[in-house]
């Protein structure tokens, strides 16, 4: 017989994992063994500390194994191992440069393990790891520590927000960024902050403050990191949220069904449990109040000061070492701040002056930034020369079509934000470009025209104004907006609700056989009554179902509501009763008419309906089809940045810059998926085939080779009567049994 | 449509059985990689073609380098070779490599998994000059302690054997060096399984009765006197060996001062006291005898705790021993005595030392 070969560990039974297992089961009985191993660790540590660089692997059990072992069972013997964490931290902080990589990783891992077992608090752990993160030259260690720090912060904030720890960590990061502005170590602060921001663990002003300091740093990398955060951090966060919400789509019904069919095993049971847990979790998440997520730009304490110092430090000063791309990024941030918070920076507009030539590299970004920087509180005197310069430099017959498009688009974007920046003759001049041959230029010029038809048609020539605008001028509706005039606020989508109510009423009247336009008080009040009855959202019952009861109630209510109406007659009624008013004006919500919100209290049911209508409108806006003019302007959110691509307009599309895939995607944008239109049988068949299942007997018979059936068909004709009888009988029998093998159940 | 049809066909292709034909080689699988190669010549690695044999000193250093070899027999043979080289050399001649240079590669072998290596190591230690060892006791002790608490019983036993040799060679240094007294005693208690429950004195008093009973039952039930993890060593009776070494160790630490030593101290102090007027304390002014005379001041190291402290005089050591270990050791000795047999006899040695120390 061959002698079995023994491994070194087997020979001596130095089996730490085995001991660990036993210790965990019964810590009291094995305390002596643990103590021995602790002494062992102490001796090894002593050996190591005398010569940390010569970390030879001593025998079969190394220090690494011992550290691992003790870290795993430390929670069983807290009094023996009370110094263990501190010792590990000392070892790591003092010798992290000399330690061999494996041991180093093990120490970091063990520290995190101790933290998980609550033998170490998060603050201590982070204060140990963070200095190493920023000082160590080893890339792997940095990656490891970064991951561990992130994980620790996430777990610390998992159940409730750990404000204390967050504050400590944010202070550390803030100090790191502010202490030495020339070093690139601030990059770690940025990386960490951005990651935590993305995961919505840190969402407060202090975080933004760290990034603000980072973007005011001297080191280019740190500056860019900070600026990038402000420009893209929120978008990243939104994407992350969407991703996490729809990643694991569990079909509980399907899982349950499968477990009914297949063999019941523990694993299957676990699967269904997990599916249930995820579904529950998602339900809980749905019912949770949505967290208030202010964007980073809104959380800034002093946007004016920040924007000013960014501008003077990185853009205006001749000493700044940023290259064009980085400068553009900073400029983008500054202009976004200016546009969003309606700030005013003295030299910002004159700064643009020298960049606005077609020869300037990435001039469209400059144009986009300029448009972003203009808002209705900017004095028109500041913007007028810039608009003029753009018109002179970009928009001329001699310049190429792309250039003209970009110029026109930029002018339009500026004028959307500050209409007073435009001068009448210039506008009339620019509008003439809609007769150009190039499509991009035409579209851009039309955009400008449409804009001024909307906001100030008087500046246009008479024949350019269009029908609606001319009528508006006649009625005196369209008036030039004065500088810094504020619009009256309202509830978003209220006109939708009003319209909906109107339609509902008409429908009900039609049901009852009344003329849709006729009006009487009782009807109105009953409806009003219905509204109050449906105070709650869930309350869906119609008052018509319980006729008598409501009648009495509504009678009692009449007086009350009449007296209520005496003070101020319902404006909607007045509008209806007035016969002189044109019908068209009624169908469109009149902005001057006092809205529904001023005459009545909106019930929760109303608000729910309002929300629904708003969503519907948003969806409708996305559906392709004839679009109203200027919708794209409305659709864009105020916070969204203006990009260079928007300035380039059609030129970007036609210039062949987009790849084939992009063009295909663009063409497909609104179309529904073609493959969805199939018969149910075809779909089922496809699915079956995909799952690798077999076909039915019928299908097999249909597909059977003709030659194979031939023999049977031939012999069929030659059968004797007895044979035929037997065959028929056999067939009948088989049918009763339920197939060849029979149905076992019957 | 075309692409998906193609893919479907490809998928089904996986389940088709390939046709084999008689008289033809089997078709190579799709992922076959041709690894054959051709070469015009075969090149051997360099060979040493020296005519003269290596000198003894280079051979010696080479053997030392072999100590960290991966294979067990090589390590064992290297140790044996070193032993014979050193023992065959004339005693008055200095070693080719000083002990301090050899120790870093020797010490890890104390924890070697192979028994033969450890026994050979002890043999090598025995032939090393004693005076050289005395200066490196502090270096040796951590490894010894690690060996004594090792998970493998064999390693523990051989570590105890080495300690026995070390106490014999440099008993004074062993008990007096930093951490040598308290930590080593801790290890002894752990090897013997005599530890008192709980670290502080208060709890030890309260649980003394229970721990006594449990320890006695444990010692009576298990042959090795410890209900513990891991199998007992293959070398028969480790308990006896440990007890004898403990006796030696205690003797070195707190044993009564022997006649000759007492005389030596007497003469020393007498010599100091009796010096003529200007030179009152002659030994203090002479060049110190030891290698590191000011080590006890701990000028450069970290501050030591109670366990790692140096206990240089017998009184100090006894005070600490009485405070921390006496109860546990007495209890353990009592248990061993009741067990009788060889263990009981071995425990008598410890008891004798204790009694002498108390008086």
B105 with B237, same domain?
no
Average pLDDT over residues B77-99: 84
Distance from CA of A37 to the nearest CA of B (A): 6
Evaluate whether residue B181 is within a structural domain.
yes
Q: Which of residues 679-738 of A touch B (CB under 8 A)?
A: 689
| Chain-centre distance for alpha carbon A670 | 21
Sole residue written with tokens 């061993």: B336
Q: What pLDDT does residue A368 have? A: 93
- B162 and B117 share one domain: no
Q: What is the pLDDT of residue A336?
A: 92
- Give A-chain residues touching B179 at CB under 8 angstroms: 46
Among B107, B128, B149, give the residue marking a domain's end: B128
Q: Would you state the structure tokens that stand for residue B94, as one six-digit string?
A: 């200095």
Q: Report the pLDDT value the prediction gives residue A393, as an integer from 0 to 100.
A: 92
Q: Decide: B350 and B333 in contact? Cβ < 8 Å.
A: yes
Chain B contact present for A79, CB below 8 A: yes
For residue A7, what is the nearest residue in chain B, using CA coordinates? Answer: B113
The overall average pLDDT reported for chain B is: 76
On whether the CB atoms of residues A8 and B117 are closer than 8 A, the answer is no
**Residue A452 phi, psi dihedral angles, 5° rounding:** -75, -25
Q: Which chain A residues are Cβ-neighbours of B110 within 8 angstroms? A: 59
A61 vs B contacts (CB less than 8 Å): 111, 150-151
A248 touches chain B (CB under 8 A): no
Residues B248 and B334 in one domain: yes
Shortest distance between the Cα of A59 and any Cα of chain B, in A, equals 5
Do residues B62 and B177 share a domain? no
Are B109 and B143 found together in one domain? no
**The pLDDT of residue A167:** 92
Task: Say whether A58 and B150 touch across the interface (CB within 8 A).
Answer: no
Any idea what DSSP says for residue A419?
G
Dihedrals phi, psi of B90, to nearest 5 degrees: -65, 140
8 Å CB contact between A54 and B104: yes
Same domain, B118 and B175: no
In angstroms, the CA A323 to CA A300 distance is: 26
Q: Which residue of B has its CA nearest to A80?
A: B199
Asked whether the CA dihedral B279, B283, B289, B295 is positive or negative, the reply is: negative
Residue B115 lies in a domain: yes
| Residue in A with minimal Cα distance to B226 | A32
pLDDT number for residue A559: 43
If you average pLDDT over residues B194-202, what whole number do you get? 51
DSSP annotation of B193 reads: T
Judge residue A682's burial from the number of C-beta atoms within 10 Å of its C-beta, 0-12 exposed, 13-18 middle, 19 or more buried.
exposed
Task: Identify whether residues B158 and B102 lie together within a single domain.
Answer: no
Is there a domain that residue B267 lies in? no
CB atoms within 10 A of CB B193: 22
Of A32, A47, A59, the CB nearest to B190: A32
One domain for residues B164 and B71: no
Whether the CB of A43 is below 8 Å from some CB of chain B: the reply is: yes
B265 φ, ψ (degrees, to nearest 5): -65, -45
CA distance B131 to chain A (A): 23
For B250-291, how does the pLDDT look when each residue is reduced to its tens digit (9 = 90+)?
Answer: 888 887 665 555 555 555 544 444 456 777 777 777 777 766
Give the total number of structural domains in chain B: 2
Residue-number span of the structural domain to which B95 is assigned: 56-128
* Selected residue of A26, A43, A73, A688 to mutate for chain B interface (largest B Cβ count, 10 A): A43
B286 domain residue, yes or no: no
In a domain, B273, yes or no: no
In sequence order, the 6+-apart residues with CB closer than 8 A to the CB of A352 are A366, A369, A370, A373, A386
pLDDT mean over B239-260: 80
Tokens of B188: 């002894």
Do residues B122 and B175 share a domain?
no
Which tens digit of pLDDT belongs to each residue from B18-37?
778 888 888 788 889 989 98
pLDDT score for B77: 92
Give the count of Cβ contacts less than 8 A between chain A and B. 97
User: Which chain B residues touch A73 with a CB distance below 8 Å?
Assistant: none
Q: Which of A37, A80, A29 is nearest to B215 (CA)?
A: A29
Give B-chain residues touching A30 at CB under 8 angstroms: 229
- Model's pTM, two decimal places? 0.68
pLDDT category at B208 given cuts 50, 70, 90 is very low
Domain check: are B316 and B215 in the same one?
yes
B290-318 per-position pLDDT tens digit: 666 777 777 776 667 767 777 778 888 88
- Each residue of B145-166: pLDDT tens digit? 888 888 888 888 899 999 999 9
Q: Which residue has the tokens 């729809």?
A: A246
Indicate whether B236 belongs to any domain: yes
- Predicted local confidence at residue A12, as pLDDT: 46
Residues B147, B229: one domain?
yes
Residue range A225-270, pLDDT digits in tens = 999 999 987 788 888 877 776 656 667 777 777 777 777 788 888 8
End-to-end CA distance of chain A: 59
What's the pLDDT score for residue A214?
93
With a CB cutoff of 8 Å and minimum separation 6, the contacts of A203 are A197, A291, A293, A294
Chain A residues 6-25 with a CB less than 8 Å from chain B: 8-9, 11-16, 18-19, 22
Q: What is the mean predicted confidence (pLDDT) over B157-177?
A: 87
**Residue B46 within any structural domain of the chain:** no
Question: A16, B68: Cβ pair inside 8 Å?
Answer: no
Task: Report how far residue A134's alpha carbon sits from residue A189's, in angstroms, rounded to the nearest whole number.
Answer: 9
**Range A14-217 classified under CATH 3.40.50:** no
Q: Kindly provide the ipTM of the predicted complex, given to two decimals.
A: 0.72
Choose one of B97, B128, B159: the last residue of a domain.
Answer: B128
**Confidence at residue A5, expressed as pLDDT on a 0 to 100 scale:** 56
Judged against a pLDDT cut of 70, whether residue B207 lies above it is answered with no
* Residue ranges, chain A, pLDDT below 70: 1-14, 53-61, 245-250, 287-292, 478-479, 514-595, 621-639, 650-658, 670, 672-675, 743-746
Predicted local distance difference test score (pLDDT) of residue A745: 58
Asked if the structure places residue B29 within a domain, the reply is no
Q: B180 and B232 share a domain?
A: yes
Cα→Cα distances B133→B127, B245, B247, B297, Å: 11, 19, 22, 22
Nearest-angstrom CA–CA distance, B284 and B271: 12
Confidence at residue B223, expressed as pLDDT on a 0 to 100 scale: 34
């Amino acid at each position: 017989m061959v002698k079995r070969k023994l491994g070194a560990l087997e020979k001596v039974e130095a089996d730490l994992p085995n001991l660990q297992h036993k210790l965990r089961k019964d810590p009291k009985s094995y305390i002596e063994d643990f103590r021995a191993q602790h002494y062992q660790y102490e001796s090894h540590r002593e050996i190591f500390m005398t010569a940390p660089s010569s970390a030879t692997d001593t025998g079969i059990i190394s220090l690494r194994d011992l550290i691992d072992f003790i870290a795993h069972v430390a929670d069983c013997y807290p009094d023996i191992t009370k110094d263990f964490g501190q010792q590990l931290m000392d070892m790591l902080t003092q010798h992290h440069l000399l330690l061999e990589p494996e041991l180093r990783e093990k120490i970091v891992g063990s520290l995190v393990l101790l933290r998980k077992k609550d033998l170490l608090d998060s603050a201590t752990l982070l204060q140990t790891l963070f200095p190493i993160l920023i000082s160590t030259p080893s890339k792997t260690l940095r990656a490891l520590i970064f991951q561990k720090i992130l994980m620790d912060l996430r777990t610390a904030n998992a159940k409730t927000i750990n404000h204390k720890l967050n504050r400590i960590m944010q202070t550390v990061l803030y100090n790191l960024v502010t202490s030495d502005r020339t070093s690139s170590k601030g990059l770690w602060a940025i990386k960490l902050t951005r990651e935590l921001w993305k995961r919505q663990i840190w969402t407060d002003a202090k975080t933004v403050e760290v990034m603000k300091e980072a973007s005011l740093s001297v080191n280019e990398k740190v500056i860019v990191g900070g600026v990038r955060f402000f420009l893209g951090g929120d978008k990243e966060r939104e994407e992350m949220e969407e991703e996490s919400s729809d990643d694991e789509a569990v079909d509980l019904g399907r899982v349950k069904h499968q477990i009914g069919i297949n063999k019941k095993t523990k694993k299957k049971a676990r699967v269904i449990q997990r599916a249930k847990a995820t579904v529950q979790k998602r339900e809980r998440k749905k019912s949770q109040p949505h967290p208030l997520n202010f964007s980073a730009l809104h959380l800034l304490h002093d946007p004016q000061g920040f924007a000013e110092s960014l501008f003077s430090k990185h853009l205006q000063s001749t000493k700044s070492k940023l290259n064009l791309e980085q400068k553009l990024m900073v400029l983008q941030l500054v202009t976004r701040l200016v546009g969003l918070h309606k700030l005013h920076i003295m030299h910002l507009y004159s700064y643009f002056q020298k960049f606005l030539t077609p020869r300037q590299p990435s001039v469209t970004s400059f144009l986009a930034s300029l448009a972003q920087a203009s808002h209705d509180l900017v004095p028109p005197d500041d913007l007028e020369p810039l608009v003029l310069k753009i018109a002179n430099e970009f928009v001329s017959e001699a310049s190429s079509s792309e250039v003209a498009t970009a110029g026109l688009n930029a002018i339009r974007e500026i004028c959307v934000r500050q209409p007073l920046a435009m001068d009448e003759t210039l506008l009339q001049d620019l509008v003439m470009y809609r007769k150009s041959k190039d499509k991009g230029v035409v579209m851009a010029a039309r955009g400008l025209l449409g804009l001024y038809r909307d906001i100030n048609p008087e500046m246009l020539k008479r024949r350019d104004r269009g029908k609606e605008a001319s009528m508006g001028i006649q009625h005196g509706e369209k008036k030039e907006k004065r500088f810094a005039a504020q619009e009256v606020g309202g509830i978003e989508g209220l006109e939708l609700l009003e319209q909906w109510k109107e339609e509902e009423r008409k429908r009900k009247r039609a049901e009852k056989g009344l003329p849709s336009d006729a009006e009487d008080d009782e009807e109105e009040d009953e409806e009003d009554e219905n509204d109050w009855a449906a105070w709650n959202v869930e309350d869906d019952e119609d008052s018509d179902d319980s006729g008598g009861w409501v009648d009495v109630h509504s009678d009692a209510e009449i007086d009350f509501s009449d007296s209520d109406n005496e003070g101020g007659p319902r404006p909607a009624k007045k509008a209806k009763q007035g016969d002189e008013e044109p019908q068209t004006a009624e169908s469109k919500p009149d902005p001057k008419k006092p809205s529904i919100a001023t005459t009545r209290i909106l019930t929760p049911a109303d608000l729910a309906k309002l929300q629904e209508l708003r969503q519907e409108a948003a969806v409708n806006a996305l559906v392709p089809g004839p679009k109203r003019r200027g919708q794209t302007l409305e659709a864009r959110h105020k916070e969204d940045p203006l990009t260079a691509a928007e300035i380039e307009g059609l030129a970007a599309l036609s210039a062949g810059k987009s790849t084939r895939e992009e063009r295909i995607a663009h063409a497909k944008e609104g179309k529904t998926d073609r493959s969805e239109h199939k018969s149910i049988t075809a779909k089922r068949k496809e699915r079956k085939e995909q799952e690798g299942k077999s076909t039915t007997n019928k299908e097999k018979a249909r597909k059977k080779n003709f030659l194979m059936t031939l023999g049977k068909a031939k012999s069929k004709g030659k059968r004797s009567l007895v044979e035929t009888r037997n065959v028929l009988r056999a067939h009948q029998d088989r049918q009763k049994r339920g197939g060849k093998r029979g149905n076992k159940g019957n | 449509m075309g692409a998906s049809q193609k893919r479907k066909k490809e998928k089904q292709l996986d389940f088709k059985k390939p046709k084999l034909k008689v008289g033809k080689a089997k078709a190579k699988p799709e992922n076959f990689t041709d690894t054959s190669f051709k070469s015009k010549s075969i090149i051997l690695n360099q060979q040493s073609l020296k005519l003269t044999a290596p000198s003894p000193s280079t051979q010696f250093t080479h053997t030392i380098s072999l100590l960290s070899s991966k294979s067990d027999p090589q390590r064992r043979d290297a140790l044996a070779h070193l032993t014979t080289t050193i023992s065959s050399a004339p005693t008055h001649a200095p070693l080719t490599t000083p002990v301090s240079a050899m120790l870093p590669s020797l010490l890890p072998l104390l924890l070697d998994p192979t028994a033969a290596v450890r026994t050979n190591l002890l043999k090598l230690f025995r032939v090393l000059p004693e005076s050289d060892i005395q200066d490196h006791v502090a270096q040796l002790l951590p490894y010894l302690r690690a060996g004594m608490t090792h998970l493998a019983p064999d390693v523990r036993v051989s570590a105890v054997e080495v300690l026995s040799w070390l106490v014999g060679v440099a008993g004074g240094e062993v008990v007096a060096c930093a951490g040598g007294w308290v930590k080593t005693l801790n290890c002894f208690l752990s090897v013997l399984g005599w530890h008192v429950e709980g670290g502080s004195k208060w709890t030890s008093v309260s649980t003394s009765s229970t721990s006594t009973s449990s320890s006695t039952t444990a010692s009576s039930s298990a042959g090795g006197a410890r209900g513990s993890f891991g199998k007992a060593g293959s070398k028969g009776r480790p308990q006896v060996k440990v007890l004898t070494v403990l006796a030696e160790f205690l003797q070195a630490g707190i044993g009564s001062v022997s006649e000759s030593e007492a005389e030596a101290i007497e003469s020393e102090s007498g010599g100091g006291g009796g010096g003529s007027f200007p030179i009152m304390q002659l030994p203090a002014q002479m060049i110190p005898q030891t290698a590191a005379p000011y080590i006890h001041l701990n000028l450069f190291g970290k501050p030591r705790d109670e366990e790692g402290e140096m206990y240089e005089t017998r009184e100090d050591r006894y005070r600490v021993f009485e405070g921390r270990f006496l109860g546990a050791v007495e209890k353990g000795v009592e248990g061993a005595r009741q067990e009788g047999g060889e263990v009981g006899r071995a425990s008598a040695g410890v008891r004798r030392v204790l009694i002498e120390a108390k008086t």
